[in-house]
Amino acid sequence: MTLAAFLTDATVCIGCKACEVACKEWNEVPEDGFVWSGLSYDNTKALGASTWRHVMFLEQPAVAGPQQVDMQDPFRWIFLSDVCKHCGNAGCLEACPTGAIVRTNVGSVLVQSDVCNGCGYCVVSCPFGVVDKRHPDGRAFKCTFCYDRQSAGMMPACAKACPTQSIRFGELSELREHGHARVAELQQRGYSDARMYDPEETSVGGVHAMFVILGQPEAYNLPPAPEVPTIYLKSAWTSALVSALVLIAIVFAAFLL
């Protein structure tokens, strides 16, 4: 089984939003509100039920790599196309009580719209805040990793539409290797804060959407240490058990005494 993955590179993204448009058109995703956010050129603000690719526009008072001019008042503009991380250990999939959310044969996480009944538990279980309920439809939606296209041997719409190969699509371990090589190359060229966003060592068990970014992941609203909520189950159920025993003792004592 080959594991499909995205590697999205902020250092070659030009902020054209072709990925957002391609995703919308191919997947027939409805509009997500025509608002001017006032936040740089970003008017979709976050991933959501009807925003499966989200291009971020970061404005930072920092030097961009080997920048030579305007060093007194440095400024850099960074773009990054965010997407569902398709976690190795996915909170939404674990939480789904209907079996609507499944793991596909390419390792991605898919919400089956014909099964989902819109209970909303996946929404609070995603450590990346990706999946959401769509109104007034009522069901939960997120990136499908273009499972339909992948099943037909094609690459996802966003990766295909990307004009700069900022969005790369391929095999997970190959892309990871490519990402690390890209970071090393960037650092050699003076981008000292280039890094991979690839939370392998946390309970989400690695992601199928990795990113090459400049600076801290927090600036991109990428959680530095995401955890799948199932790690909290043991302690919560233990507490429930102990409290239940105390409750039995109280009630029995009340009727015995």
Partner 1 sequence: MAENNVSQNSRRARASEERLEQIRREALETGRVASGAGADSSATVSSIIGAESYYNLAVLKEPTWTWEVPLYFFVGGIAGVSSVIALAAQLFHGPAPLIRVALWMALGGASICPVFLISDLGRPSRFLNMLRVFKWRSPMSMGTWILVTFSGCSFMALAGNELLYFGYANELVTTLRWAGEFSAAITGLLLASYTGVLVGATAIPVWNQHRHLLPAHFLTSGLGGSAAILELFGFLIPATQMIGFAAAGIETLVGFVLELFRGVVEAPLHHGKSGWTMRISGTLEGPVALVVRLLWGGTSTGRHAAAICFLVGALCSRYAWIWAGRASARDPKALFALQHAAIEAREGRVPSRA
Q: Which of residues 112-141 bind partner 1 (CB under 8 A)?
A: 115-121, 123-133, 137-140
C-beta closer to partner 1: residue 184 or 240: 240
Site stretch for partner 1 (CB under 8 A), options 2-10, 34-42, 152-160, 177-185: 34-42
C-beta closer to partner 1: residue 131 or 183: 131
C-beta closer to partner 1: residue 193 or 227: 227
Among 48, 88, 156, 179, binds partner 1 (CB under 8 A): 48
How many residues contact partner 1, by CB under 8 A? 78
Per-position x/- string for 230-249, each x denoting binding to partner 1 as judged by CB under 8 A, each - no binding = x-xx-xxx-xx-xxx-xxx-
Per-position x/- string for 81-100, each x denoting binding to partner 1 as judged by CB under 8 A, each - no binding = ----------x--xxxxxxx
Q: What is the DSSP string of the chain?
A: -PPEEEEEETTT-----HHHHHHHHHHTPPP-------BTTBSS-S-BTTBSEEEEEEEESS--TT--S--SS--EEEEEEEE----SS-HHHHH-SSS-EEE-TTS-EEE-TTT-----HHHHH-TT---EE-TTT-SEE---TTHHHHHTT---HHHHH-TTS-EEEEEHHHHHHHHHHHHHHHHHTT-TTEEEE---SSTT---SEEEEEES-GGGGT--SS---GGGGHHHHHHHHHHHHHHHHHHHHHHHH-
Q: Are strands 53-60 and 76-83 parallel, antiparallel or unpaired?
A: antiparallel
Residue 178: CB minimum distance to partner 1, A: 25
Site stretch for partner 1 (CB under 8 A), options 59-67, 150-158, 177-185, 190-198: 59-67
Among 12, 16, 45, 107, binds partner 1 (CB under 8 A): 45
Q: How far apart are CA 200 and CA 153, in angstroms?
A: 27
Residue 183: CB minimum distance to partner 1, A: 20
Residue 141: CB minimum distance to partner 1, A: 10
Per-position x/- string for 139-178, each x denoting binding to partner 1 as judged by CB under 8 A, each - no binding = xx--------------------------------------
67 binds partner 1 (CB under 8 A): no
φ and ψ of 21, to 5 deg: -65, -45
- Tokens 């990136």 belong to 143
Q: Which of residues 201-230 bind partner 1 (CB under 8 A)?
A: 216, 218-221, 223-227, 229-230
